[in-house]
């Protein structure tokens, strides 16, 4: 005779499973609304690559600098930027590229391959961009979504969703409750001193570009302190970007 499981245990297990499904459905509903708000699944799915230019300010180690930047990304994990950073009336050329496996940094004429710790941070940033592209969250079963409830982002009501994926650190997404647009992301990351911090990114000044709502103003905080703020002045979505763009600078 097989072992009988008490009825109360069966009921508890069933209620737990039902609760988990309800939470996942709640989180998925938030993402579905966000996808619609940003332009719809069909339009978002086309955006496999992005180029943008912009300018802004950067604050680190009690130094404030101004910069112009030219950035290119390709899903799922390739990125590159070139930057001219102005500090104390001196211009510094900075570049960084990530080909999905290796990453390099170039300051002036000095080029170095990033060590494992900084390479992991580049991979985390690429993963962050994949998460904020939204569509994979509903299409890829490896993503686990859970609701974070209501909160405030810059004095506006927002709804949060936690995104989990094996091999990656959690990313929290917060969407404006009224518009459904992405208002903030939260994840752990490394600052310029290779110290782990909480990285909060705020999105505003949305504009429709090629049928997709894109934030043109970005504000980044490290542990609650302003690190970087920039404005995007040009943005395009190429159909493809060759691998050569992401090689060593």
Instruction: State the pLDDT at residue 96.
Output: 94
Instruction: State the pLDDT at residue 14.
Output: 44
Q: What is the pTM of this model?
A: 0.88
Instruction: State the pLDDT at residue 1.
Output: 41
Of 159, 155, 161, 200, nearest to 179 (Cα)?
Answer: 159
Of 83, 85, 73, nearest to 49 (Cα)?
Answer: 73
Instruction: State the pLDDT at residue 194.
Output: 87
The CA distance from 205 to 218, in Å, is 9
- Separate counts of helices (H) and strands (E) for the chain: 4, 13
Instruction: State the pLDDT at residue 22.
Output: 74
Q: Where are the beta strands (DSSP E) in 155-195?
A: 156-165, 168-176, 182-190
Per-residue pLDDT of the chain (249 residues; tens, 9 = 90+): 444 556 654 454 444 444 556 778 899 999 999 999 999 999 998 889 999 999 999 998 888 999 999 999 999 999 999 999 999 889 999 999 999 999 999 999 999 999 998 899 999 999 999 999 999 999 899 999 999 999 999 999 999 999 999 999 999 999 999 999 999 999 999 888 889 999 999 999 999 999 999 999 999 999 999 999 999 999 999 988 999 999 988
Q: Which residue carries 């390479």 as its tokens?
A: 119
Note whether 30 and 20 are within 8 A (CB): no
Instruction: State the pLDDT at residue 8.
Output: 56
Instruction: State the pLDDT at residue 43.
Output: 92
Question: How do the domains of the chain map onto residue ranges?
Answer: 7-246
Note whether 173 and 183 are within 8 A (CB): no
Decide which of 3.90.550.10, 3.30.160.60, 2.50.20.10, 3.40.50.10860 is the CATH code for 7-246: 2.50.20.10
Q: What are φ and ψ of residue 75, in 5° steps?
A: -65, 145
């Amino acid at each position: 005779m097989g072992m009988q499981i008490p009825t109360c245990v069966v009921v508890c297990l069933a209620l737990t499973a039902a609760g988990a499904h309800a939470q996942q459905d709640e989180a998925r509903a938030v993402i579905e609304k966000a996808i619609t708000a940003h332009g719809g699944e069909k339009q978002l799915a086309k955006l496999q690559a992005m180029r943008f230019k912009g300018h802004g300010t950067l604050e680190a180690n009690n130094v404030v600098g101004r910069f112009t930047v030219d950035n290119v990304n390709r899903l799922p994990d390739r990125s590159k930027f070139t930057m001219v950073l102005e500090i104390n009336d001196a211009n510094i050329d900075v570049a960084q590229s990530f080909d999905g496996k290796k990453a390099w940094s170039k300051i002036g004429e000095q080029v170095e391959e990033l060590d494992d710790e900084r390479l992991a941070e580049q991979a985390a940033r690429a993963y962050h961009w994949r998460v904020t592209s939204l569509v994979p969250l509903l299409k890829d079963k490896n993503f686990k979504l859970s609701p974070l409830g209501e909160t405030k982002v810059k004095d506006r009501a927002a709804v949060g969703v936690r995104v989990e994926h094996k091999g990656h650190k959690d990313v929290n997404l917060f969407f404006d409750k009224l518009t459904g647009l992405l208002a903030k992301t939260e994840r752990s990351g490394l600052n310029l001193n290779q110290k782990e911090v909480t990285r909060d990114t705020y999105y505003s000044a949305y504009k429709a570009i090629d049928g997709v709502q894109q934030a043109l103003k970005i504000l980044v905080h490290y542990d609650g302190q302003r690190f970087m703020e920039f404005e995007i002045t040009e943005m395009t979505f190429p159909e493809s970007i060759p691998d050569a763009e992401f090689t060593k600078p």
